[in-house]
A and B are shown apart, each in its own frame.
Chain A
C-alpha cells in the first residue's frame, strides 16, 4: 500500500510493440483500494454482529469504520490524483452531460478515475456512512443497557431517536450500495467495462487517447509517500480509538 514513485504505469510488451495504442496504467492508488476493501469487510461485520446480538463488537467495528472513513476523507484532499475530491466532484452541467453521453452510448465516454456521476456516488456513500457512524455513537438500545460510546451525552429518549435514525440511514446506505452495484453491473454488461478488476489491482488497460492530455500515466500513478499515508492513518486511527472511549482519554 506504500508504493510511491512513478514506475507504476507499465506499458505491456505487446502494447509497446503496437506503438503504444493501449497502456496498463495505475488508476487507483493503494490506500484508496485498501480503504474500499476495508469498508466492504467492516460493513459486512457490522451487519453480522448486529444481527447476532454482539453489540460490543458492533460498536468497535463502527469505530473502526469511523477511522477508515476519516482516512478516506483526508485522502480525498492529500491522496493520489484519482482519489482527490477536487478531481472527481463535478458540477451539474458536467454530470448531466455525462449522463446524456452514457444514454447515447458509443465510444468510451470517460478516461480514468471516477466519472462525473460516480464521483457523486462516492460523495453520497461517504457522507451517509459518516452520518450513520456519527449517529451510531449516540444510539441507545430499547432495553437501555446497550449504547454507543457517546450515549452518556444524551437522554434515553434522544438515544432512542438516534437509534431510529441509525436504522433509517442504514436503509439509505443500503440503497446507495445497491445502486453502486447496479452501476458496476451496467458498466460490465452494457459498456463492457470491468470496474472491479482495477479496484482490486489498481491497474487498468486504457487506450492512450482515453487519458486526458493534462494527465500523463505518471501523474495517475502518484499515490503518496509512506510517511504521508502513515501519518494520515495514525491520526484517523487515533480519532477512532478516542471515539470508542467516548472522547474521554
Chain B
C-alpha cells in the first residue's frame, strides 16, 4: 500500500517536472515567437523610414526636386522617428535568439540609445519644419544633418552589414 502510494507520488513528481519542463519550453517558444514578431514589426518600421529617406535623397539629388514629395517624406520620417525606442522592448535583441543586427548594447546602455534616438527624432522634426518652408538649400542641409544622426546611432547600436 505504502509502496504503491510512494510510487504514485514519485510518478506524480516526475509528471509534474515534465509539465514544468514542457511549460518552460512552450514559454521560451512563445517568447521567441514574440521576439520574432517584434523584430518583424521593427524591421517593417525601419523600412518605411528607409523608403521615405530614399525618396527624399533622390529628390534632393535630382535637378528639379518635387517639393510635395520631399515634404511628404519629411513628414513621414518625423511621424515615425519618435517611436524608435518603443520598437526595442526588452527581450527583442540577439539574446532572444532571433536573427537581428540590433546590438545588445541597445539594452546594455539604454540611456545612450535613447539619447541617440531622441537626437534623430529632433533632427527629423526640424527637417519636417524646414521642408514646410520650401527652402531647398536649408532642406538639403537638414537632410544631411539628419542622415548623420542615423549614422551615429547605427555605428553604435547596429551590426554592420556583411
Complex Cα gap A145–B51 (Å): 9
Which applies to chain B's interface (DSSP): helix, strand, loop or mixed? helix
A145 and B154 contact, Cβ closer than 8 Å, known pairs A155-B51, A163-B161, A164-B162: no
Indicate if A119 sits at the interface (CB-CB under 8 A).
no
Which applies to chain A's interface (DSSP): helix, strand, loop or mixed? mixed
Checking A53, A143, A164, A167 against B50 with a beta-carbon cut-off of 8 angstroms, the contacting residue is A143
Complex Cα gap A151–B154 (Å): 22
The count of residues in chain B whose C-beta lies closer than 8 Å to any C-beta of chain A is 23
Complex Cα gap A151–B53 (Å): 12
Nearest A residue to B149, CB-CB = A143
A-B contact pairs, 23 of them (CB 8 A): A53-B151, A142-B50, A142-B150, A143-B50, A143-B147, A143-B154, A144-B52, A144-B53, A144-B54, A144-B56, A145-B54, A145-B56, A145-B143, A145-B146, A145-B147, A146-B57, A147-B54, A147-B58, A152-B62, A156-B47, A156-B51, A157-B47, A167-B161
Task: Given A142-B50, A142-B150, A246-B62, output 11 extra A-B contacts at Cβ < 8 Å.
Answer: A140-B50, A143-B50, A143-B147, A143-B150, A143-B151, A145-B56, A146-B147, A157-B47, A163-B161, A167-B161, A248-B62
Which residues of chain A are near B162, meaning CB under 8 Å? Answer: 164, 167
Nearest B residue to A164, CB-CB = B161
Indicate if A62 sits at the interface (CB-CB under 8 A).
no
The count of residues in chain A whose C-beta lies closer than 8 Å to any C-beta of chain B is 20
Say whether B47 contacts A142, CB under 8 Å: no
Say whether A143 contacts B58, CB under 8 Å: no
Among B33-66, those with CB < 8 Å from A are 47, 49-54, 56-58, 61-63
- Listed residue (A53, A140, A143, A160) with the most chain B CB atoms within 10 angstroms of its CB: A143
Complex Cα gap A163–B143 (Å): 21
